[in-house]
Amino acid sequence: MMSASAQPKKPFHVAICGGGIGGLCMAIGLIKQNIPCTVYEAAPAFAEIGAGVSFGPNSIRAMELIDPAIKRGFNNCATYNGSPEERDVWFDFRIGTSEEGWKDFKTGKPPVKEGEFLAKVVAEGYGQASVHRAHFLDELVKLVPEEIAQFGKRVEKVEEKGSRLLMTFEDGTTAEADAVIGCDGIKSRTRHMVLGSDHEATSPVFSGKYAYRGLIPMEKAIGAVGEYLAKNSQMYLGHKSHILTFPIEKGATMNVVAFQTQPDGKWENEKWVLPMKESDMFSDFEGWGKDAKHVLSLMEKPDVWALFDHLPAPTYYKGRLVLLGDAAHASTPHQGAGAGQAIEDAFVLSNLLGDCKEVGDIERAFRAYDEIRRPRSQKVVKTSREAAELYEFENEEDVGSDGADVNIESMKGKLRDRCKWIWNEDLKAQLESARKVVRIGSGRANL
């Protein structure tokens, strides 16, 4: 961590509950705006769960707009496709299932052949930009003054105390702030405070999908599938399942995520991450081709992750308490866009708070953030589920009601184009739209 420098100028103090990627990007944004803040992290130290995470062009631009130092830190640990000619490619999409894997399809017959190439999806300038979560978090920690972080602080309650907000933590301690930003993840307690514990959108819901996640040393991966497939991001599609692979750790490791559908659509276990039983994984992917099976057999210490997301919340704020990142709009990972939405949140919200002159301006800033960020971020959650349906031949629009008329050309077009609206967002225009909402709310619409 770095040391704090100039005395902050803003006459209010912001508490950030949660020190993951979204929370730290928010803290860096507030520091850039000379807003005093404190990060309250539940764990004994900053830490991220999981391995590889992808960021689209929109989120990398958001990093630079918050503070160019974030993008420099990202570049220090980012990995791209190994082949220079594949630098702009997000994923190659191809069929991974053998003929046996289609036995449960509507027709019982394969609509496409194993290994058939479907589409090359380009994210111009960035391609598949991925990092190891913990390594990127380490880069963010370097940009946060040590004295603004407090650990072992899981927020239990936020309530008004005069003109301020009083936070009560699980350890019995309390703290005050003028505004609170809930960055406490998909199981967010601050979300309960904003929506109420009985609201249908408060608690996360099972998406019907789970995933085996693991890592493979790159040399072993090359031995399994060859240099091109190992070093460049690939997505293998099948019926009700798909597998993706991409390089991380500067190409030293291949990250593998193998998605599967829960037949009854329910997740009964209280834990969302479970040790993998190898027999279960191979049973799940019994009908897959030899390349896929070889990759799965090499995964080191894989776990099973249940995939949850949020139903759309009617609001992201209540008074001077606001939600950011997964606390606001937890998503499934099928578009590689969830973490990037947290960074977009941090860009817009830190700038809106930077525009505030006094505590009385904060709620208007939160209202504008909610109005502009909520529709876009919730669309990402919705379309992520739709992406899984597309990848797994469950989209009736393309496979037909009986599966007899699979429209492969339509699927190819959707694969190529579906993420462009996420990647090509004008973030500066998004911020200006939010600022206009603030001006209208304060009677200064023409300023």
Looking from the CA of 314 toward its CB, the CA atoms found within 13 Å total: 7
- Which pLDDT score is estimated for 4? 45
Q: Which pair of structure tokens corresponds to residue 261?
A: 């559908």
Residues 6+ away with beta carbon under 8 Å from 329: 310, 312, 313, 341, 374, 377, 378, 380, 381
- Which pLDDT score is estimated for 442? 67
- Look up residue 311 and give its DSSP letter: P
Whether 331 contacts 309, CB under 8 Å? yes
Q: Could you tell me if residue 87 is left (phi over 0), alpha (psi between -120 and 50 degrees) or otherwise beta?
A: alpha
Mean of pLDDT values over 333-343: 96
Fill in the amino acid letter for 421: W
Q: Rounded CA gap, 233 and 217, in Å?
A: 15
Could you tell me where in the chain the CATH 3.50.50.60 domains are found? 14-75+131-203+311-394+421-441
Mean of pLDDT values over 51-79: 95
Q: Which pair of structure tokens corresponds to residue 440?
A: 């209208």
The model's confidence at residue 1, banded by pLDDT at 50, 70 and 90, is low
Higher pLDDT: 221 or 441? It is: 221
Q: What is the mean pLDDT of the chain?
A: 93
Higher pLDDT: 185 or 444? It is: 185
The β-bridge relationship of strands 14-17 and 89-95 is unpaired
- Which pLDDT score is estimated for 443? 59
Strands (E), 123-279: 129-132, 149-151, 155-161, 164-169, 174-177, 179-182, 205-217, 234-238, 241-248, 253-261, 273-275
Nearest to 89 by CA among 43, 124, 115: 124
Whether 25 contacts 343, CB under 8 Å? yes
Nearest to 1 by CA among 54, 39, 52: 39
- Share of residues in the chain with pLDDT > 90 (%): 83
User: What is the CATH code for 80-128+205-309?
Assistant: 3.30.9.30
Residue 445 pLDDT > 70: no
Residue 2 pLDDT > 60: no
Question: What totals of helices (H) and strands (E) does the chain contain, helices first?
Answer: 16, 19
pTM of the shown model: 0.94
Mean of pLDDT values over 113-141: 92
Task: List 323's β-bridge partners, or say none.
Answer: 182
Q: If you count them, how many residues does the chain have?
A: 447
Residue 3 pLDDT > 80: no
Give the tens place of pLDDT for each residue, 341-354.
999 999 999 999 99
Mean of pLDDT values over 394-409: 82
Which DSSP string corresponds to 389-445? HHHTT--HHHH-SSSSS--HHHHHHHHHHTTHHHHT--HHHHHHHHHHHHHHHTT-T
Residue 365 pLDDT > 70: yes
- Which pLDDT score is estimated for 400? 78
Q: Rounded CA gap, 372 and 271, in Å?
A: 34
Cβ atoms within 10 Å, residue 285: 22
Residue 142 pLDDT > 50: yes
- Look up residue 172 and give its DSSP letter: S
Higher pLDDT: 125 or 280? It is: 280
Q: Which pair of structure tokens corresponds to residue 314?
A: 């009617």
Q: Rounded CA gap, 173 and 157, in Å?
A: 11
Segment among 119-128, 164-173, 413-422 with least mean pLDDT: 119-128
Residue 269 pLDDT > 80: yes
Mean of pLDDT values over 256-277: 94
Segment among 6-10, 166-170, 406-410 with least mean pLDDT: 6-10
Give the H or E element holding residue 55: strand 52-55
Residue 274 pLDDT > 60: yes
Fill in the amino acid letter for 202: T
Whether 310 contacts 381, CB under 8 Å? yes
The model's confidence at residue 33, banded by pLDDT at 50, 70 and 90, is very high
Q: Which pair of structure tokens corresponds to residue 241?
A: 């399942």
Give the tens place of pLDDT for each residue, 145-184.
999 999 999 999 999 999 999 999 999 999 999 999 999 9
CATH class of 14-75+131-203+311-394+421-441: alpha beta
The model's confidence at residue 10, banded by pLDDT at 50, 70 and 90, is confident
Mean of pLDDT values over 385-404: 87
The model's confidence at residue 6, banded by pLDDT at 50, 70 and 90, is low
Residue 102 pLDDT > 60: yes
- Which pLDDT score is estimated for 42? 96
The model's confidence at residue 113, banded by pLDDT at 50, 70 and 90, is confident
- Which pLDDT score is estimated for 325? 98
- Which pLDDT score is estimated for 104? 79
Whether 381 contacts 309, CB under 8 Å? yes
Fill in the amino acid letter for 324: L
The β-bridge relationship of strands 14-17 and 179-182 is parallel
The model's confidence at residue 301, banded by pLDDT at 50, 70 and 90, is confident
In order of 65, 160, 363, the CA distances from 358 in angstroms are 24, 17, 11
For residues 360, 363, 366, 371, the Cα torsion angle rounded to the nearest 10 degrees is -120
- Which pLDDT score is estimated for 105? 84
Task: List 119's β-bridge partners, or say none.
Answer: 93
Would you call 227 helix, strand, or coil by DSSP?
helix
Q: Could you tell me if residue 127 is left (phi over 0), alpha (psi between -120 and 50 degrees) or otherwise beta?
A: left
Whether 246 contacts 252, CB under 8 Å? no
Higher pLDDT: 364 or 279? It is: 364
Give the tens place of pLDDT for each residue, 20-29.
999 999 999 9
Whether 210 contacts 267, CB under 8 Å? yes
Residue 58 pLDDT > 60: yes
Could you tell me where in the chain the CATH 3.30.9.30 domains are found? 80-128+205-309
Catalytic residues: 213
Residue 376 pLDDT > 90: yes
The model's confidence at residue 209, banded by pLDDT at 50, 70 and 90, is very high
Q: Rounded CA gap, 63 and 339, in Å?
A: 12
Mean of pLDDT values over 131-148: 95
Nearest to 55 by CA among 118, 115, 139: 139
